[in-house]
Structure 1
Amino acid sequence: MSIEVRHIHKRFGAFTALDDVSLAFPDGRLTALLGPSGCGKTTLLRIIAGLEHPDGGQVLLEGQDASHTHVRQRQVGFVFQHYALFKHMTVFENVAFGLRVKPRGQRPDERRIREKVMGLLELVQLDWLADRRPAALSGGQRQRIALARALAVEPRVLLLDEPFGALDAKVRKELRRWLRRLHDELHMTSLFVTHDQEEALEVADEIVIMNKGRVEQRGAPQAVYDAPETAFVYGFLGHVNLFHGRVRDGRLHTGGAALDMPGLEGAADAPGTAYVRPHDIQIEPLPAADQPPAGRGLLVNLQRAHAFGPLAQLELRREDTQEIIEVVMPSPEFDRIRAQGHRRFIARPRQARVFLN
């Protein structure tokens, strides 16, 4: 089912949670609402579900205005961060709950309910836990049961609010892969809220990045990561180094250095900030007494380094401003540098995006 929101506004007292948000979510896609705490993503999800009412704007489901439709009539499945399972019920009874409380004319008989529930438990690979109570389950198992319960009523839309936020890193990684596989099998229109950039990039078909109640950017994960449209998106998606300075003559003049910046040749003299990913910085060893040619790069000293698997992460201190730069490179390349005892380097961006202030 397709979902669309048009010109949604929502305030809580003096705080503006959503400021004229318009979005369309295609049928059968898995979309991540990504952003920092307080950006409006959960409020938007709850408005789509019917759990909150907007101060202005429309919610359309399958092209029909559902703004004043009760949550029960929207046929939306909702999965919360903290499971919300009934502790006194077994796993089977939790999943069956939504079916058993349907109006009499819509309620399946017990045989159909059992078939439906056991089929869902098999889908989430937990049918062997049907007679257990939630207290006997791990966090990851509880969240999968919560998802099975949401699917039991055959929703047209699945909404997930920080579904893995309460779990440890290893379980989160396993569950998001599992969610992606499940979505590929069900092809249900799904929206999930997260502040975890890695989670959104790995799981979603599309990402909507929000900030201060507005949409900053939307698009496929790779497209958004490779081509951020705003400084906020660049800084929010992954690690980034910031170089503050002034743009002049095609260079960014920062501290005691001038860095060549492709694409800035026609830029007016103005303050600017270069955003550079750690893997987009190249370093070269430099003898202690040497100085790099103007525009060649920054003089830096190695402060700390550690390797994790195929990659090494370096912390380098600029000689001019004393700021720390983070660099990521292949571990074998760093091993060669370390073996030669180098501590002083020229650092220069291979790729950067400059935003004028």
Structure 2
Amino acid sequence: MTAGHYTDLLWDAVLRGDEYSAVDVVVDALRDGLEPEAVLLEVIGAVQQRVGLEWAANRLSVAQEHAATAINERVISTLSLTSGRHGGERGRVTVACVDGEWHALPARLLAEVLRLRGFTVDYLGAQVPAAHLVTHLHRTGPDAVALSSSIATRLPTAHATITACQAAGVPVIVGGRAFGTDGRYARLLGADAWAPDARTAAETLADGLPDPAHPHAQPMDDLPHLSDQEYTLVTRSAPRLVATVLDRLPERVPAMAGYDDDQRRHTAEDVRHIVDFLSVALYTGDAELFEHFLGWTAEVLEARSVPVAVLRPVLDLLGDELRDFTRASELLRRATTFPALTGGAGTPVPAGAVTEGADSTTLHRTGRPA
């Protein structure tokens, strides 16, 4: 049987929320001769990727997505126990997620692949604070750190973590969607290596990472544009920006006058999310990061039958508040010219449209490309 056959079986089990059938699929795949690494990446990994795509298309709820991820986590545990112990002759690697990063499954898949390939692995899981990670490095002395992040808003934290690990003398390989499909943010933030997938990461680590090139670098050594302080000032003023936009938004979206407390709370979360992505675009100096987020969000809104034009008033109001910030103003100006966001004049905006789709809230739950 091919990996695709078992992928379909696991997808059916996950969709039904049937943990026992999901475990049976993995056990059967191993019994029928499929390599454990292929089960991890071509079956479990493929199903998890489909979960994200189906959620984005509004064919899975948030609850279904979380349930599917939990089942896949337990299936990985079964596979790990079934495939047995493997030696640590290839070195020791610490695998962790950036602080604030809850999407741990990609890191877990990498950890299991590394174990299968003969590494000793310390898997630390989701959202590991940099200080605790460095303490662990001093205690265990690994050959490398593998750092994972899926959400671009965690890039400033990732940068600080990369720098802290390198200062401890441990090289860092990074991966995950946060670092870009081409690894551009890995290079920008001074990581020692980047890998687009678990197999490439394992091969890179097997070859060995060089000692950190700049073990005492500071953020502005990598990102000199931070000297204008726009990232710092926008980040510090984020609560005020959100409050001001919320106060003025009913002028642009009259239906907000009828919002209840929950709708206003969700709208505040939505606006904060936009400010966070604007901030990280200022940090990286990359306008495409903000534009990609808005374009992806527009697709998700459209899948939920929410008029994309609801984004424009928020961007305009942020532009008013940040008119004295050169880079932020340019980012917002470019964003408002996006064809996907211009919409049509007079496009009706239903009550709650900024935060609600056909059957779920949207923007504050769309901030992580799946």
- When Rg is computed on C-alpha atoms for both structures, the one with the higher figure is 1
Q: Which has the higher contact order (CA 8 A, sep 6+)?
A: 1
Greater strand content:
1
Greater helix content:
2
TM-score (norm 2): 0.27
TM-score (norm 1): 0.28
